[in-house]
């Protein structure tokens, strides 16, 4: 087995963060290639690995799998013994629904509060549209934990692909100091305490690349 995960800057690339935290958490071995955003060579470098011209990309030998959710689904098939998705059918269906909602939605939150792993924690008031996204996310997290969380600390009890998909939101809510419920804050703290989360955070801190449009927010 020879897996390589091609990612963009750890400071900013929310899409890359998702498969990374999942693979690290479940102990899936992989090599890592980082392509910095905003460089003259960025697009050409990404095209070497991805026909879509976007990161992340998972290389498995000659096979390329692109898009964070597609990578997660591929890993679930590639490693069926790992609990990447919940085992119970109803929980698994709900987890996939939430992952898909995150994948395709919450545009206002993404635009208004972009992920920045290196940002000083400082409050920034979300727009009304982003606030509506945050309200929906908090409600979705609470419903998942109530229905399927049991005694575990994550959305469906143990850490799963659904948590990986929302990992960038945890950063957003934290660094922009968004007011959230006590239950949401507790979930965020559990996510941020994961060694896989810390691995990504430390990698971001070690990067030399910074992009002004994200740093000025």
Buried b / exposed e along 111-136 (16+ C-beta atoms within 10 A): ebbbbbbbbeeeeeebeeebbebbee
Q: Are 133 and 183 in contact (CB under 8 A)?
A: no
Question: Are both 36 and 96 inside the same structural domain?
Answer: no
Q: Are 164 and 76 in contact (CB under 8 A)?
A: no
Instruction: Sheet with 57-60: list strands edge to edge.
Output: 31-34, 3-7, 57-60, 63-66
Question: Are both 99 and 185 inside the same structural domain?
Answer: yes
Question: Are both 103 and 18 inside the same structural domain?
Answer: no
Residues 176-181: contacts with CB under 8 Å, at least 24 apart: 176/113, 176/119, 176/122, 176/123, 176/124, 176/126, 177/121, 177/122, 177/123, 177/124, 178/113, 178/123, 178/126, 178/134, 180/134, 180/138, 181/138, 181/142
Question: Are both 73 and 95 inside the same structural domain?
Answer: no
Question: Are both 75 and 110 inside the same structural domain?
Answer: no
pLDDT of residue 1: 56
pLDDT of residue 217: 62
Question: Are both 128 and 194 inside the same structural domain?
Answer: yes
pLDDT of residue 52: 84
Q: Rounded distance, CA 139 to CA 125, Å?
A: 20
Coil, helix or strand at residue 157:
strand
Question: Are both 37 and 94 inside the same structural domain?
Answer: no
Q: Does residue 166 fall inside a structural domain?
A: yes
Of 82, 97, 128, the domain-final residue: 82
Q: Rounded distance, CA 154 to CA 156, Å?
A: 6
Range of the domain at 167: 89-198
Structure tokens at 130: 């982003």
pLDDT of residue 50: 83
Q: Does residue 205 fall inside a structural domain?
A: no
Q: Are 55 and 13 in contact (CB under 8 A)?
A: yes
Provide the CATH number for the domain around residue 26: 3.40.30.10
pLDDT of residue 213: 66
Over its length of 217 residues, how does the chain's per-residue pLDDT go in tens digits? 589 999 999 999 999 999 999 999 999 999 999 998 878 888 898 888 888 888 999 999 999 999 999 999 999 999 999 999 999 999 999 999 999 999 999 999 999 999 999 999 999 999 999 999 999 999 999 999 999 999 899 999 999 999 999 999 999 999 999 999 999 999 999 999 999 999 999 999 998 877 666 666 6
Task: Report the Cα 79 to chain-centroid distance in Å.
Answer: 20
pLDDT of residue 114: 95
């Amino acid at each position: 087995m020879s897996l390589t995960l091609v990612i963009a800057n750890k400071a900013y690339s929310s899409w890359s963060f998702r498969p990374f935290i999942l693979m690290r958490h479940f102990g899936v071995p992989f090599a890592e290639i980082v392509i910095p955003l905003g460089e003259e060579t960025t697009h050409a470098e990404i095209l070497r690995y991805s026909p879509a011209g976007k990161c992340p990309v998972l290389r498995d030998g000659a096979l390329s799998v692109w898009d964070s959710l597609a990578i997660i689904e591929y890993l679930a098939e590639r490693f069926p013994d790992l609990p990447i998705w919940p085992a119970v059918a109803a929980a698994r269906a709900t987890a996939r629904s939430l992952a898909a909602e995150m994948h395709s939605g919450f545009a206002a939150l993404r635009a208004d509060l972009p992920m920045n792993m290196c940002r000083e924690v400082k409050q920034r008031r979300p727009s009304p549209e982003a606030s509506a996204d945050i309200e929906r996310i908090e409600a979705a997290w609470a419903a998942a934990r109530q229905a399927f969380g049991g005694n575990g600390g994550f959305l469906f009890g143990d850490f799963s692909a659904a948590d990986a998909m929302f990992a960038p939101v945890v950063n957003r809510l934290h660094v922009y100091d968004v007011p959230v419920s006590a239950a949401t804050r507790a979930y965020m703290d559990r996510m941020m305490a994961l060694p896989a989360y810390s691995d990504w955070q430390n990698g971001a801190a070690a990067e030399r690349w910074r992009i002004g449009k994200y740093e000025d927010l």
